[in-house]
Amino acid sequence: MSFEKDYGIILKGIGGFYYVLKDQRVYECKAGGRLRLGDMTPVAGDMVTFELSGEDGLITSIKPRKNSLSRPPVANIDRLFIVASAASPKTDPYLIDKVTVIAVREDIEPVILLNKCDIDRCDELYNIYTKAGFATIRVSTVTGEGIDSVKEMSKNGISCFTGNSGIGKSSIMNCLLPNKNLLVGMISRKVARGKNTTRQSELFPCAGGFVIDTPGFSSFDIVKSSSIEKEQLQYCFPEMTGYFDKCRFSGCAHIKEPGCLVREDVERGFIPKSRYESYVRLYEELSKVKSWER
Ligand SMILES: Nc1nc2c(ncn2[C@@H]2O[C@H](COP(=O)(O)OP(=O)(O)O)[C@@H](O)[C@H]2O)c(=O)[nH]1
Ligand SMILES: [Mg+2]
Ligand SMILES: [Zn+2]
């Protein structure tokens, strides 16, 4: 990953200290206070400038963020690896679709990783997400299938892993980072609660980019965490964006309107049915949100 001159990147924060990587070295820094940083609290992924006095670093500015997630706090995400499976615990496509909407909205590239393919080839999920136009990779941490492709995609920028507990996020990261030994089979919340210091998730350098784990899908509540309006929802479904203003009624929401080309193409199998059903379900959820609740 290339940096703008003078900037380092925060790998993690623990108990008020931030570990900033710059020119192959990690510096322990404190935050520079309200005067310099205003309301921004540094998080992993932030690009920062800092001053050194002796060994002690002081963060002096934070570059405006491209995007950010709050659980875990991480900024400037380029890619979201959404880990799913048809093997246990089987993933509900609706959960995947919710996350893809937020990703697209935040200008993050969603990549679907179908894990545990040694047990189940995940054909149904594979067909849905390739047809929808997402990069979709079959993975197995047992046979090593797909790991090279995941590594290749991690070369640029910051890649964040998400998916239900037990789906294999830590296992996949261990394949990418063989020297790190992340805790497989551990619930991430437990790990986070174990110590008294507040600890952020950590960015790990990987293949030229960075990878980071998240606690799971629960951090992606579409209604609460994003300011998306129902009229905008169709633009967060890449397979539906070409239909804008082509249906019989301009401003068609593709729900019940006659002459809707989206619904016709769902019937003809060009748009995956489960994706369309998620669209309708999310549209209805967003319709219930009053404007003052946003
Ligand atoms: N058969 C099979 N089991 C896997 C695979 N990846 C992970 N597991 C198992 O799934 C369980 C949960 O894995 P873990 O990486 O801790 O999931 P996390 O909660 O998403 O971090 C562990 O028992 C792993 O050994 C896989 O590709 N195939
Ligand atoms: Mg884990
Ligand atoms: Zn329509």
Least confident of 137-151, 241-255, 271-285: 241-255
Question: Does a cis peptide bond (omega within 30 degrees of 0) precede residue 272?
Answer: no
Reported as a single tens digit per residue, the pLDDT across 104-134 is: 999 999 999 999 999 999 999 999 999 999 9
- The pick from 119, 171, 177, 186 for probing ligand 1's pocket by mutation, whose C-beta has the most ligand atoms within 8 angstroms, reads 171
Q: Which residues line ligand 1 (CB under 6 A)?
A: 115-116, 118-119, 140-142, 163, 165-171, 184-185
Mean pLDDT across the chain:
88
| Protein residue with least CA distance to atom 8, ligand 1 | 168
In the numeric block, the tokens 């996350």 are attached to 99
Reported as a single tens digit per residue, the pLDDT across 44-81 is: 999 999 999 888 899 999 999 999 887 778 999 999 99
Alpha-carbon distances of 135 from 39, 59, 100, 186, rounded to whole Å = 36, 37, 12, 28
1 located within any domain: no
Are the C-beta atoms of residues 98 and 217 closer than 8 Å to each other? yes
Local confidence band at 221 (pLDDT 50, 70, 90 cut-offs): low
Is it the case that residue 196 has pLDDT exceeding 50? Answer: no
99 located within any domain: yes
Are the C-beta atoms of residues 92 and 106 closer than 8 Å to each other? no
Reported as a single tens digit per residue, the pLDDT across 8-50 is: 999 999 889 999 999 989 999 999 888 788 889 999 999 999 9
pLDDT at residue 193, as a whole number:
47
> Could you give the number of structural domains in the chain?
3
Are the C-beta atoms of residues 153 and 111 closer than 8 Å to each other? yes
Is it the case that residue 88 has pLDDT exceeding 50? Answer: yes
pLDDT at residue 36, as a whole number:
84
- The pick from 141, 174, 186 for probing ligand 1's pocket by mutation, whose C-beta has the most ligand atoms within 8 angstroms, reads 141
* Whole-structure pTM value: 0.91
Is it the case that residue 163 has pLDDT exceeding 60? Answer: yes
CA distance 18 to 74: 13
> Under 8 Å CB-to-CB from 41, ≥6 apart: which residues?
31, 73
Q: How far is CA 246 from the centre of its chain?
A: 31
pLDDT at residue 34, as a whole number:
81
* Phi, psi at 243, each rounded to 5°: -95, -5
End residue of a domain, out of 26, 45, 62? 62
CA distance 267 to 77: 35
Local confidence band at 226 (pLDDT 50, 70, 90 cut-offs): low
| Protein residue with least CA distance to atom 12, ligand 1 | 166
163 located within any domain: yes
Locate the DSSP E strands across the chain.
8-14, 17-22, 25-31, 47-53, 56-62, 68-69, 74-75, 79-84, 109-114, 135-138, 158-162, 204-206, 209-213
Domain membership of residue 198 as a residue range:
68-219
Q: Could you tell me the distance, in angstroms and rounded to a whole number, from the CA of residue 248 to the centre of ligand 1?
A: 48
Is it the case that residue 192 has pLDDT exceeding 50? Answer: no
CATH number at residue 118: 3.40.50.300
> What ligand is nearest to the CA atom of residue 188?
2
The number of the ligand 1 atom at minimal distance from the alpha carbon of 183 is 16
> What ligand is nearest to the CA atom of residue 191?
2
Q: Could you tell me the distance, in angstroms and rounded to a whole number, from the CA of residue 158 to the centre of ligand 2?
A: 18
**Do 212 and 75 fall within a single domain?**
yes
| Protein residue with least CA distance to atom 2, ligand 1 | 116
Is it the case that residue 225 has pLDDT exceeding 80? Answer: no
**Do 107 and 31 fall within a single domain?**
no
End residue of a domain, out of 47, 62, 77? 62
Is it the case that residue 288 has pLDDT exceeding 90? Answer: no
